[in-house]
Chain A
């Protein structure tokens, strides 16, 4: 009896995890792609010098964007099983991909009017590293220097 209850709980959890995780992920990707399109003309580079021919710079400012995203139950189980055999943990790939892109988008959204982001850095940290109640969330922090030009026209 106890076993069947356990199995039932597991099936419910994993189906919920799969369905809701899938919905959340789809929605997130849709929003990410839309916003990325919007910020397509705002370059963000890792170099410490501005890109291209730049008019006089009015202001340079530290900007940052961060996000915490968690995996669903299904993905966590899949990663647990993968742990046993080894290999690519595919179920966590979208988690990190979404988090990186979201963090960068938040950074860009935080500095309206900026023409370039230079010195961009992206850092990842896992929340509750291998703790007993593994939550399986990551925090991604993107930070860089936003440059504002003296004139009004954007440069490519």
Chain B
């Protein structure tokens, strides 16, 4: 037999199918798995949250969030005034456990509800909102979060998400980067639905206490004006809060549907500290207005 050297006609050592197809198939698989796991674990978080009483919550978080709103020195005038608003609103929104308000010096126009019944108002908010009713709406919104147990839900989901992503991607930062947007759109959608719910609770509480809903949209309008009507476009899908204009419209629609009417707003009953124009900043807490 004579040996005739020749090149192989076909390379059998490599696959000849299209790599892009494989890539999108695998990516879709990973994203679907993460979303399915997130959804089912989210239900589990809801199940657990329903079973944590406010008292237990206060006990659990007394150590973790003892700074800021829990300081020992007597409340300032502003804090006392805010506390009064919260105490007045609480019965309207079925909050039976004590909620304390603290003011944190910050440029951010924001407020946050922390576990354990502590609302922190960032002083930038006090510069933006001029009326007591406007402030009451923001505080009622935070109380709405407590009523709906959103602070625990979101924290639970956050923990689930982080550990889930780490598990699925096995510490591979590149894969984590692909999965992150899908994951965060899911989380943002959930968060936005909770925010809308809290807005609704706040509107009802405002009407219940003041007899009208004047001032409800004051804060959103002030923020909207401060932004100069910049359209955030697709970023909206990643945002933890609904868009300002949408929130204002939703509140107006809701007020119309429930037959709430607007009325005279009251002035704030404490001296405004002239801190200058507050900039809109990123929320420092993980729950804001």
Contact = CB atoms under 8 A, between A and B. Distances in A.
A75 B235 contact: no
Interface string B15-41: 101011011001101100000000000
Interface in B181-228: 181, 184
A48 interface: no
Interface size class of B (residues with CB under 8 A): 20 to 34
A93 B7 CA distance: 19
B22 A90 contact: yes
A94 B238 contact: no
A156 B175 CA distance: 52
A43 B30 CA distance: 47
Query: Of B3, B7, B30, B174, which is in contact with the most chain A CB atoms at under 10 Å from its CB?
Result: B174
A107 to B, nearest CB: 17
Contact of A90 (B7, B19, B27, B235): B19
A58 interface: no
Interface string B94-124: 0000000000000000000000000000000
Contacts of A90: 14-15, 17, 19, 22
Nearest to B239: A1
Query: Of A9, A41, A78, which is in contact with the most chain B CB atoms at under 10 Å from its CB?
Result: A78
A82 B26 contact: yes
Interface stretch (A32-40, A60-68, A110-118, A138-146): A32-40
Nearest to A6: B177
Query: Of B11, B14, B234, which is in contact with the most chain A CB atoms at under 10 Å from its CB?
Result: B14
B174 A76 contact: yes
Contact of A77 (B13, B23, B234, B235): B23
B181 A7 contact: yes
B234 A81 contact: no
A40 B5 contact: yes
Contacts of A126: none
Contacts of B5: 40-41, 43
B67 interface: no
A12 to B, nearest CB: 12
Nearest to B29: A85
B181 to A, nearest CB: 5
29 contacts: A1-B235, A3-B184, A4-B234, A6-B177, A6-B181, A10-B177, A37-B7, A40-B7, A41-B5, A43-B5, A77-B174, A77-B175, A78-B22, A78-B23, A78-B26, A80-B172, A80-B174, A81-B26, A83-B170, A83-B172, A84-B26, A84-B170, A90-B17, A90-B19, A90-B22, A91-B22, A94-B14, A97-B11, A97-B14
Interface of B: 2-3, 5-7, 11, 13-15, 17, 19-20, 22-23, 26-27, 29-30, 168, 170, 172, 174-175, 177-178, 180-181, 184, 234-235, 238
